[in-house]
Amino acid sequence: MTREIVLLTKSTKRGGYCVAGVDAQSGEWVRLTSSDQWSHGALTDAHLTCKDGSVCGVLDCVRVKVAEERPVDHQPENVLINEEKKFQKLDTWSVQDVLRIHPAEPWDAVYVNTERALDEEEMAKVNRSLILVHTPWLRLRQKSDNPDKPKTRANFLYNDQWYNNISVTDPDYYTAEDKTTLKNMYLVVSLPDAPYDDGKYYKFIAKIFDAED
């Protein structure tokens, strides 16, 4: 099966990338995964290198050979790529192009509550692991002095509610100055497929888009 996907995330994940996007025709969420179990299906630079030698990036529209749908309990959007076939880059979209097929989503809250994480009972109420929301105001915080081990966090406003200390896995913002303020942004907020050691599922911002792009 072949699908055309507009890539919206290329965030860091266990030495590789968590790559997700929307179907270029239907607008539905799709997370592209590999067969590597240790990384929980992360993609590598080799997976993202196209037939022409270029490497796929965020907002590229690519044609992908899909081996099969591979949903898991907390990530129903997952598909397994055919790792023997190269991606084909078709075009590069703008944020506004994406919004025409997948507008920002009008949820009451970003995954059930306004906290950093969900417990098992709250996760049982969630049937998705990717959402796109608009925020009028976001502030980045840097929690680490080591640039090789960034701990970027964000406080943001959504639906008149504050979300604080949310992890940011978008590498474009790992070197942002502490207390950087951004306005009128779109966020791809994701959930993991398994809990952390404390039994909680932590929310993370996989991509930050400027509404003007």
CA atoms within 13 Å, Cβ hemisphere of 27: 11
Percent of the chain with pLDDT over 90: 83
C-alpha–C-alpha distance, residues 94 and 101, integer Å: 12
pLDDT top residue among 198 and 12? 198
Whether pLDDT at 3 is above 90: yes
Catalogue all structural domains in the chain, each as residue range(s) with its CATH number. Answer: 2-99 (2.40.50), 104-210 (2.40.50)
Positive or negative: CA dihedral 186, 138, 131, 108? negative
**Whether pLDDT at 10 is above 70:** yes
pTM for this predicted structure: 0.94
- The mean pLDDT of 188-200, rounded to a whole number, is 94
pLDDT digits (tens, 9 = 90+) for 65-99: 999 999 988 999 999 999 999 999 999 999 999 99
Distances (CA, A) of 136 to 22, 30, 71: 23, 26, 33
Q: What does the alpha-carbon distance between residue 196 and residue 120 come to, in Å, rounded to a whole number?
A: 11
- On whether the CB atoms of residues 79 and 30 are closer than 8 A, the answer is yes
Question: Which one, of 15, 92, 23, lies nearest residue 47 by Cα?
Answer: 15
Most distant CA pair in the chain, distance: 46
pLDDT tens, position by position, 122-181 = 999 999 999 999 999 999 999 876 666 778 999 999 999 999 999 999 999 998 999 999
